[in-house]
Amino acid sequence: MKKSVPFLILMTLCVSLTGFAQKKLERPNIIYILADDLGYGDLSCYGQKNFKTPNIDKLAEQGLSFTQHYSGSTVCAPSRYSLLTGKHMGHAFVRGNGNGMMRPDPQDLTVATLLQRSGYHTAMIGKAGTGCKNTPETPNLKGFDYFFGYLGHAQAHSYFPKFLHYNGKQIDFPENGGNKTWRGETYSLDMILDSVLTYIENNKGAPFFLHYASPLPHAQMWIQEKWKEPYKGKFDEKPYKGYYGACDDPNATTAGMIFRLDWEVGQIMKKLEELGIAENTIVMFSSDNGPHVEGGRNAAYHNSSGGFRGVKRDLYEGGIRVPFIVKWPGIVDEGKTTDHISAFWDMVPTFCDIASVSSKPLESDGISMLPLFKGKKQKEHDFLYWEFHQKGGRQAVRMGKWKGVRYNLQEDANAPVRLFNLELDPQEQTDVAKENPKVVKKIMNIFKTERTPSKEFPLYGKK
């Protein structure tokens, strides 16, 4: 159902969401902030030198930072599917961007549904993680009591959408049609952040699960002048003009977009403190995959991949290794780092353990990280698995210190494994497959056995 609603009226709708009655919380609130195409090296606490991210750095200083955490996939839709369902790409239904979307329950159950059933109020704000072709009702049907933002991933390329969605209703902005795809009068990020802060305030009295899926710093390459002003003239620039509109200073714009994202994190933390619920709220921060190179963005210029090989759509480390920070006052040790090898599909059992809910209905591929959060002995993965049907067909396995990668599977289903020792070669420059045939054999077996066929996202070509 379409409806033209000015900004102030929309905020009134948000304010009307009262959540549960005030009561002492027995279980913590959970806020999971997910950036869009933020690289491993795009935060100063992860080594960024060209600009600073002070609020996220503070989150790291007060929490636990992961150095070997991986996204669910190398593009957004399957990565977010993995996050919400606990499935790796060999078992996922949505394995790529395009037309994929979650199926109705009981297929593709989400962690939001499990938490909702257990008494958590649940929200997803920003970019819908339930697929690329959602209906207006999809987020609510997949376990989220509250949704505001972009239904489609392609729509989220623009910060000046002609409409957004609020709990099944289409909200047109503005009434005079002033938004023209790449420029306009209504800036979505301001509305989305207001919705996040209002949601937190209205649900402070009962346990809530808030998945804030920020569109930043994904293309289009645009940010308000005040955010990039500190960086203008400081970088070499190559102006861009193309599908995503024009950007005269993409390197300064990249820094400004991440600066804005960092400020948003600060606003969320400030709101928790003002409401007196910071001590009983877990805040997590990560990114859905490696840095993009669209719209004029130069990922290499800012070392956005953190020195790792590859970017978004690669299964090398730069495409799938992402920052992950957890702040949980009184539980997680402050200012520590961990080299525990983990991935998005671990989040379902972790969220469920935090909420004292069984994750069994989701049949997750993940392992709960609650023991690690509490400083106890943590179970390790035998391996992590990825596949990506585009760019010729790709597979990857992380197995301890070893990383196996296969490309061009559409041309050759028996393509050889490139093997890297990440302890000695984290940039994946030296193929040591010939020297380690037993390791290659194990990885080849995982490639063959750890996946179910997918008609929607075929991986192999010729035998």
C-alpha span between 248 and 232 (Å, rounded): 10
403 bridge partner residues: 398, 420
How far apart are the two ends of the chain, measured CA to CA in Å? 48
CA quadruple 391, 395, 398, 404: dihedral sign = negative
User: pTM for the full model?
Assistant: 0.94
3-state secondary structure 35-92: ECCCCCCCCHHHCCCCCCCHHHHHHHHCCEEEEEEECCCCCHHHHHHHHHHCCCCCCC
Helical packing angle, 250-275 and 54-61, nearest 10° = 50
C-alpha span between 164 and 45 (Å, rounded): 33
CATH number of 2-381: 3.40.720.10
Contact call for residues 310 and 318 (beta carbons, < 8 A): yes
CA quadruple 248, 219, 242, 163: dihedral sign = negative
Instruction: Give the CATH fold of the 385-449 domain.
Output: Arylsulfatase, C-terminal domain (3.30.1120)
**Nearest C-alpha neighbor of 363 from the set 32, 96, 72, 88:** 88
CA quadruple 9, 112, 64, 279: dihedral sign = positive
> Within the chain, which residue ranges are assigned CATH 3.40.720.10?
2-381
Peptide bond into 427 cis (omega under 30): no
Residues 6+ apart with CB under 8 A from 440: 404, 417, 419, 433
Tell me phi and psi for residue 355, to 5 degrees. -90, 5
Instruction: Give pLDDT tens digits along the chain (463 positions).
Output: 444 444 544 554 454 444 443 344 579 999 999 999 999 999 999 999 999 999 999 999 999 999 999 999 999 999 999 999 999 999 999 999 988 889 999 999 999 999 999 999 999 999 999 988 899 999 999 999 999 999 988 888 889 998 999 999 999 876 555 677 778 888 899 999 999 999 999 999 989 999 999 999 998 999 999 999 999 999 999 999 988 889 999 999 999 999 999 999 999 999 999 999 999 999 999 999 999 999 999 999 999 999 999 999 999 999 999 999 999 999 999 999 999 999 999 999 999 999 999 999 999 999 999 999 999 999 999 999 999 999 999 999 999 999 999 999 999 999 999 999 999 999 999 999 999 999 999 999 999 999 999 999 999 985 5
- Which pLDDT does position 182 carry in this prediction? 76
Q: Could you tell me whether strands 402-406 and 394-399 are parallel, antiparallel, or unpaired per DSSP bridges?
A: antiparallel
- Which pLDDT does position 283 carry in this prediction? 98
Residue 304 vs residues 59, 224, 244, 287, 301: alpha-carbon distances, Å: 20, 21, 20, 12, 8
Q: What is the DSSP letter of 101?
A: B
Q: What is the largest CA-CA distance in the chain?
A: 66
> Within the chain, which residue ranges are assigned CATH 3.30.1120.10?
385-449
- Which pLDDT does position 10 carry in this prediction? 52
CA dihedral 352, 28, 290, 333 (to 10 degrees): -110
CA quadruple 396, 315, 50, 219: dihedral sign = negative
